[in-house]
Structure 1
Amino acid sequence: MSDPRELVDELAEDLKRWLPEQRWFAGKDRPVTGVRPLGVTELVEGDPQLLHVVVEVVQGDRREPYQLLVGRRTHPPEIASTSWIGDLNAYEASGDLDVTGVLLDLMAREERVGSLVFEHEPGVELETGLRARPITSEQSNTSLVYSGQYILKLFRKLTPGKNKDLLLHRALQGVGSKHIAQLLGSITGDLDGEPTTVGMLQQFLPDAVDGWAMATTSVRDLMAAPELHAGEVGGDFAGEAERLGRAVAEVHADLAEALGTEPVDADELERSMKAMLGRLDTIATRVPELAVHAPALRGAFETLRTLPAESVTMQYIHGDLHLGQVLRTVGGWLLIDFEGEPAAPVEERHALRSPLRDVAGMLRSFDYAAQQMLVGQPDDPALAERAQEWSDRNRAAFCEGYAAIAADPRDQGELLRAFELDKAVYEVGYEHANRPDWLGVPLASIARITSGGMTP
């Protein structure tokens, strides 16, 4: 096989074309103008060969590091055609079951290979010799499942330092949180001279169902019997929504216990308000349909100036909470993926926030789940009424569950309303750029919330 560094150098031009085609690549908004290797570590020698590669992707004035697993072998593996990189018989190897087992074995033995440090958590014993399969549904990272026992998340876009997902899982595990999957190990590399998380291993829960699948199944049951009300169909979700609210409140309490809280000051509320107004102004210039709601939105955001600072507490939160970030197991609800909003700068993801931001994110997700079956369909007032009824019922149940553990989020209605509207404005920008058919979902929510027709 080729010298590792020489192979990666030769792949640089091919990677310029290949990277934008990958689902997890975050830089699809502009062309790749250069790819520069930052680190190459040979994990498996010979044939097959496995390399851990970190490259800097250049897009004009933007430079961002990504990690790859690059494989090369004489006999082609059974992988997706999109995994092949150029004409050098090299491929992205996360789907190669014959070589990715080495990542788990190295963690079990706590070895160091080049600049990569493989560790398991204290007291954990890992089984070795297992084969891995990739999960294909992820957006921004890549996860490998080992024999239905472990799941290894590889963070594609890297940031120097300890990843927030790993940081918060360790903190929550340290206080005995019931609502996370057990953390088992990690892989740490080097970026800009700073130890950097490149992977984390957790217990895999094969029987878990994600919240989005459960909620949308409930909506389909309702739409199939529109003569019934949301509480009358067999798939009523309100009980689960209430239990989910309890789980989120308990995780917020666990994070506060593990990592502390801080009071907010008036300057922070002012900064939050200016960020909301700035996002509104930016997106309204691109989306004329949003501009008509701008006066009402500005009024909602400007209420932050009038809120008493002592009523707001800051702490670590999930940061990107929605129904796709929760799993229902036989033991209850679990929260996953504590990285925060993938598109946000790392310092913003690590900043302390009001827990109401997570609540607002989940409320928006209930509305999306209710409306998703109406997207692209002819207007049907009866179905639209049932969808809104489902959303209202489950939003209320979630808040009831949250209030059983912590302060009722509805008691801070103006702040919660501002957070939810800010999230909806973000959704308008996202849908306009990526899924124009869905643009009506956040726009309709904005119209209802600003007119008082939808409350938490």
Structure 2
Amino acid sequence: MADAVTPSDTSSTTGHLLASLDPLLRQWLPRQRWFAGKGRPVTGFTPVAATELLPPDGRLGLYHLLLRVHQPSAPGAAPHPGDCYQLVIGVREALPPRLAPALIGHVTEGPLAGRTVYEALYDPRPAEVLLEALRTRARIGGLRFERDPRQEIREGLVARLMTGEQSNSSIVYGDTFILKLLRRVVPGVNPDLEIPLALAREGCARVPAPTAWLHAELGDLGELGKLDERSYVLAVLQPFVSGAADGWELALGELAKGEDFAAEARALGRATAEVHTALARALPTVTLGHAQLRPMVDGMTERLTAAVQAVPALRPYEPGLRSAFEALAALADEGRTWTAQRVHGDLHLGQCLRSPTGQWSLIDFEGEPARPLAERRMPQPPARDIAGMLRSFDYAAHSASPPAPDWAHACRSAYCSGYAEITGRDPRTDPVLLRAFETDKAIYEVVYEARHRPDWLPVPLSAIRRLATSDPTRPARETRP
């Protein structure tokens, strides 16, 4: 492996490299599923770091890039410095047919002139370079490949890129490990590493313990190997649950067959409760009173106002939806308090895996990537995760043809009962809090579907109608979806 080249180098290697890649990346980046800036042209790049992992003087070259991507701000929005993306770029004389989908383009000038560059994660050899660096705890420029010394990483594991992800990329190594490579990165302690590490210390088996991870330390960032607010978490390697079923696909399959899913929903409730209980032990909890809850309610109300402007179909339901947030604020005004802790932050069926033995695991603790990192790391009432899962059951049921509201009701009820079996607290006994979080989630779903999948808009709108007319003082177990 070669040394790094960074923007601070006296040489112009990085500048020449990026200048030659610039026109190719401007065309290629917006086509990637994980690129968040779709619909706005790419106007330029600022290098954060460029690291040469394999020199391009042989059959294969390999570069690790952190690039800040510049785009015009949305109308009315404040100027934005640009998102930082992680790229792993392969270099070959020519691509074999099997790598055709990975093509970025052919370089015509600069140090790589005459070569072909491509998305290296499609290629097993570059993927194996990353695993070997993790196994040996390599230090390459500002890149720090770390590993839990108690866990072994065998050599020779065959790599394959997983397809179907939207916001990140994952590589499976021999059905033994899975490496999640974050695409849009920000400096700070990423919860996708922080929370699984904390749960591993607590012995919580519901979340795969990190085996290794990659982070970047750029410039004078203090103690080497220390994760802090200035380092970039770039990738996490965890055990791969071989033969596991994705919760969303499993639920849709049972729905299609007309099968009951309540037993699985109850088991999921228990799994969620075990994770929440372990997190409350591992990381600090806080009490939310009026002063702490008011900004949360204000945020929910502001998101509703923006959503109504973006999706006119919400306008008839705005007063009823707003009442969900007002009811929560009223409880806080009366002196009610809630306990907040670290939670998953984006929990739904697709973030759950069931092993062949029937054991449920929770994955992907990154939170909603569009939200600021500091917000994703804030303690939240556990009801936020619970509401996300209740919405997921509802989503599955109303995406079926015909919709199956009774199936959703049974799953929602079983999930809450399973949660109560572990914690002793049924989420439905706090219906005002639960309704507020579920309403906030449904509003987000409406905006997302209106922008990206208009044909799916009726699914969250069915929940909007229910939530806008439900009585916030009535226990949720009596309110059918």
Q: Show the counterpart of 2:232.
A: 196
Partner of 1:451: 469
Question: Which one is further off, 269-278 or 316-325?
Answer: 269-278
Shift of 1:176: 0.3
C-alpha distance in structure 2 between counterparts of 1:326 and 1:165, whole Å: 14
Instruction: Note the alpha carbon deviations across 1:9-64, whole angstroms, 9 max, x for none.
Output: 31012212211100111111422211222211111223200111111101133211
The residue aligned with 2:429 is 411
Counterpart in 2 of 1:105? 132
Q: Does 1:262 align with 2:262?
A: no
Compute the displacement of 1:78 (Å). 4.7
Is the contact between residue 199 and residue 209 of structure 2 (CA under 8 Å) also seen in structure 1? no
Query: SS at 1:404's partner residue?
Result: helix
After TM superposition, list the pairs within 5 Å mapping 1:79-158 onto structure 2: 79=98, 81-88=100-107, 89-158=116-185
Which SS does the other structure have where 1:99 is aligned? helix
Determine the structure 2 residue equivalent to 1:238.
262
Letter in 2 for 1:324: G
User: Relative to structure 1, is the Cα distance of residues 5 and 132 closer, same or farther in structure 2, using a 3 angstrom cutoff?
Assistant: farther
CA deviation after TM superposition for structure 1 residue 190, in Å: 2.8
CA shift for structure 1 position 454: 3.8
The amino acid across from 1:433 in the alignment is R
The answer as to whether partners of 2:318 and 2:468 remain within 8 angstroms in 1 is: no
**Cα distance, 1:79 vs. partner?**
4.7
Matching of residue 250 in structure 1 with residue 274 in structure 2: yes
Residue 163 of structure 1 is matched in structure 2 by 190
CA shift at 1:306, angstroms? Answer: 1.8
Residue in 2 that maps onto 1:390: 407
- Is this contact kept in 2: 1:4–1:51, CA < 8 A? no
The equivalent of 1:183 in structure 2 is: 210
Q: Does 1:76 align with 2:95?
A: yes
Whole-Å separation in 1 of the counterparts to 2:153 and 2:312: 55
2:24 alignment counterpart = 14
| Preserved contact between residue 4 and residue 42 of structure 1 (Cα < 8 Å) | no
Identity within the alignment, %: 45
Q: Output the CA distance in 2 between the equivalents of 1:311 and 1:409.
A: 15
**Residue 307 of structure 1: aligned partner:** 331
Match of 2:400, SS state, is helix
Conserved 8 A contact 2:99-2:123: no
The alignment partner of 1:57 has SS state of: strand
Corresponding residue of 1:230? none
Does 2:251 align with 1:215?
yes
Aligned partners of 1:305 and 1:411: how far apart in 2? Answer: 17
The one-letter code of the counterpart of 2:178 is: I
Number of the residue aligned with 1:402: 419
Q: What whole-Å deviation, never above 9, does each CA across 1:265-294 have from its counterpart, x for those lacking one?
A: 212221111111111111111212100000
Question: Aligned-pair distance for 1:420?
Answer: 0.3
Q: Distance in 1 between matches of 2:326 and 2:87?
A: 44
Cα deviation per residue 1:213-266 (whole Å; 9 max; x = unaligned)?
1111111112xxxxxxxxxxxx31100000000100110000000002111121
- Among 337, 355, 362, the alignment partner of 2:382 is 355
C-alpha distance 191-156 of structure 1, shift in aligned 2 (>3 A): farther
Question: Per-residue displacement from partner, 1:132-185 (whole Å, max 9, x unpaired)?
Answer: 111111111111111111111111011102211100010000000020113100
Partner of 1:328: 354
Does the 8 Å contact 2:189/2:231 carry over to 1? yes
Matched letter for residue 399 of structure 1: C
Q: Which amino acid aligns with 1:207?
A: G
What is the aligned partner in structure 2 of residue 297 from structure 1? Answer: 321
Deviations 1:180-208 (CA, angstroms, capped at 9, x unpaired):
11310011113575221111100011211
Q: Which runs of 5+ in 1 are unaligned?
A: 223-234, 375-382
Distance (whole Å) between structure 1 residues aligned to residue 278 and residue 86 of structure 2: 32
Report the TM-score when normalising by structure 2: 0.87
SS in structure 2 of the partner of residue 65 of structure 1:
strand
**For residues 181 and 202 of structure 1, what CA distance do their matches in structure 2 show?**
6
Where does residue 35 of structure 2 map in the other structure? 25
Find the aligned partners of 1:391 and 1:264 in 2 and give their Cα distance.
31
Q: Which amino acid aligns with 2:430?
A: Q
Contact 1:160/1:191 (<8 A) preserved = no
Q: CA deviation at 1:405?
A: 1.2
Q: Are the aligned partners of 1:165 and 1:338 in contact in 2 as well (CA < 8 Å)?
A: yes
**Shift in CA distance, 305/99, structure 1 to aligned 2, threshold 3 Å:** closer
Closer/same/farther in 2, CA of residues 409 and 302 from structure 1, 3 Å limit: same
Q: Give the match's secondary structure for 2:211.
A: strand
Distance across 2 between alignment mates of 1:248 and 1:310 = 25
- 1:173 counterpart SS class: helix
Q: Which has the higher mean CA deviation after the structures are superposed, 78-87 or 400-409?
A: 78-87
In structure 2, C-alpha distance between the alignment counterparts of 1:138 and 1:442, rounded to whole Å:
22
**Aligned match of 1:59 in 45, 52, 71?**
71
1:338-374: CA deviation from partner (whole Å, max 9, x where unpaired): 0001111111111111110000000000001101123
Residue type matched to 2:91 in 1? R
Task: Tell me the equivalent position of 1:277.
Answer: 301
2:445 corresponds to 1:427 = yes
Distance 1:271 1:4, change over 3 A: closer
For 1:37, the equivalent position in structure 2 comes to: 47
Say if 2:382 is the partner of 1:366: no
Stretches of structure 2 that go unaligned for 5 or more consecutive residues are 3-11, 73-78, 108-115, 222-229, 471-477
* 8 Å Cα contact 1:151/1:201 also seen in 2: yes
- Please list the CA deviations of residues 318-352 of structure 1 after superposition, one character each: whole Å capped at 9, or x if unmatched: 00000000000125110000000111111111111
Instruction: List per-residue Cα deviations over 1:99-139 (Å, max 9, x = no partner).
Output: 21011111111110111111111312211232311111111
The aligned residue for residue 225 of structure 1 is none
Shift of 1:431: 0.6
Residue correspondences, number: 434
Q: Which residue identity is paired with 1:32?
A: V
SS of 2:447 mapped into structure 1: helix
With over 3 angstroms needed to count, the CA separation of the structure-2 counterparts of 1:296 and 1:430, relative to structure 1, is: same
CA distance in 2, matches of 1:208, 1:413: 33
CA distance in 2, matches of 1:435, 1:185: 36
Report the Cα distance in structure 2 between the residues aligned to 1:131 and 1:6, rounded to whole angstroms: 34
Give me the CA root mean square deviation.
1.9
- Report the equivalent of 1:317: 343
Whether contact under 8 Å (1:16, 1:35) holds in the other structure is: no
Q: Which residue identity lines up with residue 346 of structure 2 in the other structure?
A: D
